[in-house]
Amino acid sequence: MNGAESLVRTLLASGVDTCFANPGTSEMHFVAALDKVEGMRCVLGMAETVVTGAADGYGRMAGKPAATLLHCGPGFANGIANVHNARRAFSPMVNIVGDHATYHRAYDAPLTSDTEGLARAASHWVRASTTSAAVGADSAAAVQAANTAPGQIATLILPADTAWNEGGVVAAPMPAPARPKVAPDTLRTIAQALRRKEPAVLVLSGHALCEAGLVAANRVAHVTGAKLRTPTQVGRMARGRGRVPVDRIPYMVDAAIKTLAGTKHVVLVGAKPPTGFFAYPGKPSLMAPPDSDTHVLARPEQDAVDALNALADELGAPAKVAIPEGAIKPQLVQGKFEPEAFASTLAALLPENCIVAEDGVTSGRALFAPTFNAAPMDWLQNTGGAIGHAFPCATGAAIACPDRKVVCLQADGAGMYSLQSLWTQAREKLDIVNVVFANQIYKILMGELVSVGAKPGHASNELFDLARPALDWVKLAGGMGMEATRVDTLEGFADVFKSACGRKGPFLIEFRI
């Protein structure tokens, strides 16, 4: 057995059965091994950002890693942006990156590059196999690393000769350690602080945003009066009717500071101290009041659900607490696009148990609160800020959950980073309704420019305006084999969205706004 076959067999034995791929010549023996061994679903992305973004969406929804198969150096580099987003979402991911044969590197062939340096800049775990005999064990270790809480990026670099040489050994799966529990002392200290009934906010992230985590957090809130918040972006959150409606900390610095104003205790539950997405002259980096105390209830890798329930118990909270309702009732609104009106309309139409992948940038900022009373669903956001995330994330989520409708909300400027995803969606006939917010401008940047006190001029006009020429998303989708239509009113959107949700398969709606 060659090294490549030992890789594929080890991945399968370790529970990795989906491979998003964009291979090159140095990966040919892996492709040949995939041909030989049954059981691995291979999904092609026609750009590496599709591959890694799809693996992110898959990891978030499957709760286990997909593999990616990527070409050396520039191939991996093309995928780094969505690896970064995945890292910020705690998605498990196993990147298999082919590289030149060990002995060929010395000759500095055209594609030779610092693959390991690139991998280290983007991954939690990096290893380069040096012999075919090591590939199996290295692969099992990579899967273990990816599965280690809270979910990690593992990148295994495989020189071509480790793939083609005989001597491959299939390795036994290496289970990942269970999430560590929170120490009783920590619970008691935080309970003591919260008992004072001073203004407190629990910031919930990662694992804490599953339904059980939200229910447990609600128990704590019920008995202490603490407020609940998510960070500005959530990797995956259980939302909709019957789920605890926890709003997010706003993106805009002033609004975030206002949200946390007066807080005495910030309790971090799998979250980091709330930070501005960017720094701005004269504004603070941290959003909580400088005189507040920060408590870490659970680090991202710890068992946040258990910790929240233990804290609730410690505080004497009842086992069952009523779930509050979101304030805003979904309703169909008519007229031109307006963020809150769109959010309300979408909330009225989202199918039961759907998955929402959202990278709406400016058009998406108002979506959170108005959708608390939508049908129950999971909401995935761009956690790392590398834009163009929703198209590929939706692609991977649909592969992970073939029985659930996926709704992809993608800003147009951002979507252009990863429009190749539409081809994979069409090829795999994935059940995804894509909504493109076509405002034809990098609107967020125009806002940021004004917020630094500058007046737009010739350069910013060149660099932010996307209307010359206008992107035609119906043609772009059609060019990749996907049906699409354009709407410019909320009622038009509602009609088309309902009909797209009523059938299976990929579709794209361009909302000109």
Residues 430-489 that bind its own copies (CB under 8 A): 444-445, 448-449, 452, 454-460, 462-463, 466, 468-476, 478-482
Between 228 and 508, name the residue whose CB sits nearer to its own copies. 508
Between 125 and 342, name the residue whose CB sits nearer to its own copies. 125
Compute CA distances 338 → 228, 334, 483, whole Å. 27, 10, 25
Q: Does residue number 57 form part of the binding site for its own copies (CB under 8 A)?
A: no
CA torsion sign for 300, 306, 309, 311 is: negative
Between 73 and 370, name the residue whose CB sits nearer to its own copies. 73
User: To which H or E segment does residue 216 belong?
Assistant: helix 211-224
Beta bridge partners of 96: 69, 156
Least separation in angstroms between residue 77's CB and its own copies is 4
> CA triplet 78, 79, 85: central angle to 5 degrees?
135
Between 82 and 302, name the residue whose CB sits nearer to its own copies. 82
Give the whole-angstrom CA distance, residue 140 versus residue 14. Answer: 7
CA torsion sign for 57, 60, 62, 66 is: positive
Strands (E), 290-415: 293-298, 355-359, 377-381, 406-411
Q: Could you say which of 7, 11, 16, 31 contacts its own copies (CB under 8 A)? A: 31
* Residues binding its own copies: number (CB under 8 A): 102
Stretch binding its own copies (CB under 8 A), from 108-116, 169-177, 310-318, 332-340:
108-116
Give the whole-angstrom CA distance, residue 501 versus residue 350. Answer: 8
Between 25 and 189, name the residue whose CB sits nearer to its own copies. 25
Cβ(398)–Cβ(406) below 8 Å: yes
Nearest by Cα to 276 from 298, 293, 259: 259
Q: Could you say which of 107, 178, 316, 502 contacts its own copies (CB under 8 A)? A: 107
Least separation in angstroms between residue 80's CB and its own copies is 4
Q: Does residue number 505 form part of the binding site for its own copies (CB under 8 A)?
A: no
Q: Could you say which of 125, 391, 423, 493 contacts its own copies (CB under 8 A)? A: 423
Cβ(114)–Cβ(168) below 8 Å: no
Q: Does residue number 275 form part of the binding site for its own copies (CB under 8 A)?
A: yes
Beta bridge partners of 41: 18
Q: Does residue number 180 form part of the binding site for its own copies (CB under 8 A)?
A: no
Q: Which of residues 322-381 bind its own copies (CB under 8 A)?
A: none
Q: Does residue number 109 form part of the binding site for its own copies (CB under 8 A)?
A: yes
Q: Does residue number 253 form part of the binding site for its own copies (CB under 8 A)?
A: no
Between 26 and 139, name the residue whose CB sits nearer to its own copies. 26
**CA 114 to chain CA centroid, nearest Å:** 27
From its phi and psi, is residue 98 left (phi > 0), alpha (psi between -120 and 50) or beta?
A: beta
Give the whole-angstrom CA distance, residue 180 versus residue 305. Answer: 11
Q: Could you say which of 11, 16, 47, 266 contacts its own copies (CB under 8 A)? A: 47
Q: Does residue number 254 form part of the binding site for its own copies (CB under 8 A)?
A: no
Least separation in angstroms between residue 437's CB and its own copies is 15
Q: Does residue number 246 form part of the binding site for its own copies (CB under 8 A)?
A: no
**CA 125 to chain CA centroid, nearest Å:** 19
Q: Which of residues 143-172 bind its own copies (CB under 8 A)?
A: 160-161, 164
SS3 182: coil
Q: Does residue number 281 form part of the binding site for its own copies (CB under 8 A)?
A: yes
Q: Could you say which of 84, 248, 404, 443 contacts its own copies (CB under 8 A)? A: 84
